[in-house]
Structure 1
């Protein structure tokens, strides 16, 4: 195919000079300084715009900036309140039994789960940006905390010391979360990929479910380990010892009832409230059954005393001189990332349905301050709950007032109704937790990950089996390691492609993706698909190019040479930066091609790339063959 070379050669030379004579890119220090200056200027402009306003307007603007409730609260109506009131009461009915169950999962007294469903929702309601998120304790975070903190202090041997570490971890987790938002470090949350979270949550759900067999079977002594082997072994040993089947019968009966209402709620959307109140109804009915029949005298395990009253202050329990402060900080960092990942994922999901944007940095700060203040009021780590948020959305919530209604309802329950929970069977709490677990195991999403990206699926099952057969933190570590390995693998072995010209266009595309693309006689055009040519991948790229040139010139089956390459054009349009190893590799490539009588040309280099190639004198070594486009590089070869 004949190449279009009708462009003015002088014009092409001028365009090449545009590339070669570009101004020097800013240094890293300059980039950082400019970023800081823009940030400071942004805040100065905001501050100056505020200072020009009257004091009352200034105060209102500051309050709206820190507390979004002052912004959307001005347009709040009685109609919205009716919807929020119904939604708040609905999620409160689900929240109360779940909170007690999650507290026991975290190896804390039941009241701590209720405490965590009072203050955090109230704080988030005035600081959060999501309209649907229901804040409180969640199963995965409860398991994560208990599995890691109990390695420092045994909750059975020293419950006071264990509770102090949980509260300290909550405070530090809140500080980490608020810092992520303040310094715009939200990318740290992305260290846990979507695939890793799917596998981790599914594995944690199975572990949580197995651990609930303790309450469902009425087992007194149970393992503190979270791996599936230890849990099944503990259950096996317990079953072969004398045990009371009444706990199992009671728990399974109400588990079937709760799951049935969930099924009906999914089949008929108008009956969503039935599934929402089923856990609370189960708690009330089972408590009445145990109280009336005195089943606790016949082996049925009950909750017994639940401390009531307002959230007590826990500031005096935050001990920064604790010998485990370093280990607690590590635990807090992991918990902070997992809790933020879950909450932001939930918030964005429902925000997209409602058609508004969620501010990630503000969300991090609001969740952070929620946990900081919560740690002062006997709360452990709270975050957005998917199950309660889904119920909140289905109940028709309009704003975060539903969280306020939920918090006040739980507070009233703490103040007046905790004595009624004395006879609540532990098997019912296990049933409530078990009923919430199927929604955490997303098989269809795992299958979708398998179809889309096999390495992502490897991270998914790595997290899943890591949680199941090792521990929760090992599962997270495996997922992060596999995800980072994927990034390193892509960096070390970047994609390279041979380009050809699409008939009737000036476009050059991958000849494997577009078989109709025609290769230019005597020219090999190669594009590096990596954004960085560095020490990790430079040798691989050089060897791949030399191999392709050699194969292109090799003889066919009849002994005839396929083609003779005269010019190799390196399309660097995707290449954002290059280091000294990358430049050295290009120099070696140039020497290798020159020794075979071939030329090397660079097309469409980016700012940082051309600057470094000029400084290292590589442009001079290749005879200044640097062009704005691939087409111009080919035209220059034709003229020469």
Structure 2
């Protein structure tokens, strides 16, 4: 007779299929993650081995600390291009040893900034970039990446000077394109597109890269003029040490990369969370991604964050926990120890095509159309964010994106709506007057106005001016201010309302305050405005205001 307790036996039985699913998901994800990680390293101007290191150490650390069950953490297209821009400015010579030192310093700074943000409880910052602005920013990044890879795909060289000059330079150098290099890139595209169309989420990048290596070896492509990756150091990554003298120079870029790493990680983690999963904790994610970047810095990794496409592969392959990421990391280690010599034969055109195919998805014309259909103003924000990246560069584009988001937020907060409230005929329904409801009734001599949003110094004068304009237009005997949709009122705004009431009284009118929530009522009482108004002009809701006005209007 078995002596294993029933609950333990049941737990073991339940764990077995889950473990099998995680192993399959981890192996499947490795087939997608590892080729792309190497490609992202080239985007950042780094050796392809750095991509493998980034798919190893940060992934393991996040798997142990993160709050998402399936989030896969390594590099991403956005982080790669941001890293490349920062390293290009910090090490313009491109000297390999200096690049690796700068990479270690940058990754360590990103990690420390993320952990500092956790200490300051700044997890809410992830919500500061609006979705339309993020759409524009990522589209700009996608265009930059595609253009950056075109010279490798065509077998040409250009002097980089910015997006639009680079685009012109590529066009001018098109006659110099090498047919064989272009053929290698075309063959890679056929493999990637064909497999993805026939078998979605298949290990197409692995097949394409394996085919590129085989063709390079069999046909001697390097001797025929096709550029290849070259020597990759075999073995476990050597220790890297950050250089404190670079901190001041790298600080602005590290701050932008940290923000984007956290934003992408939170967005992807929440997007792939199932209802039964524990919620993604923003502050815990700061610790996990911070520790992942900090640890990776000492083992040759570039800045890392949660990747959407690789997380999608894990989820769709049946991954249930971070064991899948541990399997993927183990495959990265095996590749470093065993397969590194073969990767040196990989044509750069193949890597460039992998990058382009998996980066072009950042450019979302359909999302722009959807934004424009909903709100033209936010469509302009998206365009401005995209142009900010193309004109000013990727790192400056982050600043442009944040500024646009904050300006958009400020414009909305600073200009709250003020509605005239009417009643639906034949029903006890109060709602804003609009052309869609032309039959709604109003009440002669009574004007009910409902401002919406917090009232504070930045919008108080605008709101009061709108109220005065509507009062001048309708000339009511009683102005009822329905404050039920005002969660808070600041001192400056209250003074504006007190002044509005005084002016109405001087011209023979009356102001009632309606529907005050507890916080607003407390402010009104602290200012003594409730005593000035009296209980007859402080009403529970707009219906009470209508009833009271009708009672006062009836002939005695």
* Residue of structure 1 in register with 2:269 after alignment: 347
Q: For the residues of structure 2 that align with 1:481 and 1:80, how far apart are their CA atoms?
A: 45
CA distance in 2, matches of 1:492, 1:99: 44
1:109 shift after superposition: 1.4
- Correspondence 1:144 to 2:77: no
Aligned pairs for 1:416-427 within 5 A: 416-427=338-349
In structure 1, the partner of 2:66 is 128
Corresponding position of 1:531: 454
Contact 2:126 2:266 in 1 (8 A): no
TM-score (norm 1): 0.79
Distance 1:74 1:437, change over 3 A: same
Pick aligned residue for 1:228 from 153, 163, 167: 163
Distance in 1 (CA, whole Å) between partners of 2:392 and 2:192 is: 31
Among candidates 480, 487, 490, match of residue 412 of structure 2: 490
Residue of structure 2 equivalent to 1:56:
none
Select which of 414, 428, 444 maps to 1:521.
444
**Any conservation in 1 of the 2:133–2:401 contact (CA below 8 Å)?**
yes
**Retained in 2: the 8 A contact 1:87–1:395?**
yes
Larger radius of gyration: 1
Q: How do 1:539-578 residues align onto structure 2 when only pairs under 5 Å count?
A: 539-553=461-475, 565-578=476-489
Match of 2:103 among 166, 191, 210: 166
1:244 aligns to 2:178 (yes or no)? yes
Cα contact 2:385–2:404 (8 A) shared by 1 = no
Q: Which residue of 2 aligns with 1:37?
A: none
Change (3 A) 1:85 1:352: closer
Contact 1:96 1:410 in 2 (8 A): yes
> Over residues 25-76 of structure 1, what are the superposed CA-to-partner deviations in whole Å (9 max), with x where a residue is unaligned?
xxxxxxxxxxxxxxxxxxxxxxxxxxxxxxxxxxxxxxxxxxxxxxxx9887
1:359 is aligned to 281
Query: Deviations 1:277-300 (Å, cap 9, x if unpaired)?
Result: x22222222222222322212211
On the 8 A contact 2:103/2:300 being kept in 1, the answer is: no
CA distance in 2, matches of 1:506, 1:496: 21
1:308 corresponds to 2:220:
no
Deviation, 1:639, is 5.2
Query: Which of 48, 55, 65 is residue 117 of structure 1 equivalent to?
Result: 55
Instruction: List per-residue Cα deviations over 1:260-292 (Å, max 9, x = no partner).
Output: 1111124xxxxx43xx1x222222222222223
Q: 1:626 aligned to 524, 538, 542, which one?
A: 538
The 3-state SS of whatever aligns with 2:335 is helix
Superposition pairs of residues 597-608 of structure 1, within 5 angstroms: 597-608=508-519
CA contact (8 A) 1:107 1:155 kept: no
* Distance (Å, rounded) in 1 between the aligned partners of 2:63 and 2:314: 14
Q: Please tell me whether residue 256 in structure 1 is matched to residue 190 in structure 2.
A: yes
- In the alignment of these two chains, the number of paired residues is 540
The answer as to whether partners of 2:231 and 2:344 remain within 8 angstroms in 1 is yes
Aligned to 1:104: 42
Give the gaps of 5 or more residues in structure 1.
1-72, 267-271, 554-564
CA contact (8 A) 1:223 1:230 kept: no
1:73-84 counterparts in 2 under 5 A?
77-84=15-22
2:499 to 566, 584, 588: 588
**Counterpart-to-counterpart distance in 2, 1:352 and 1:452:** 28
Contact 2:25 2:324 in 1 (8 A): yes
Contact 1:148 1:331 in 2 (8 A): yes
2:27 paired with 1:89: yes
Give CA deviations for 1:181-211 in whole Å, capped at 9, x if unaligned.
4543221111221112212112211211111
Question: 2:343, 2:410 → 1: CA distance?
Answer: 54
Distance 1:167 1:395 in 2: 33
Q: Which runs of 5+ in 2 are unaligned?
A: 1-10
Q: CA RMSD in A?
A: 2.3
Equivalent pair of 1:501/1:520 in contact (CA under 8 Å): no
Alpha-carbon distance between aligned partners in 2 of 1:438 and 1:75, rounded to the nearest angstrom: 43
Equivalent residue, structure 2, for 1:370: 292
8 Å CA contact retained: 1:531, 1:575: yes
Counterpart CA distance in 2 for 1:230 and 1:339 is 29
Scaled by the length of structure 2, the TM-score of the pair is: 0.91
Aligned partners of 1:168 and 1:74: how far apart in 2? Answer: 44
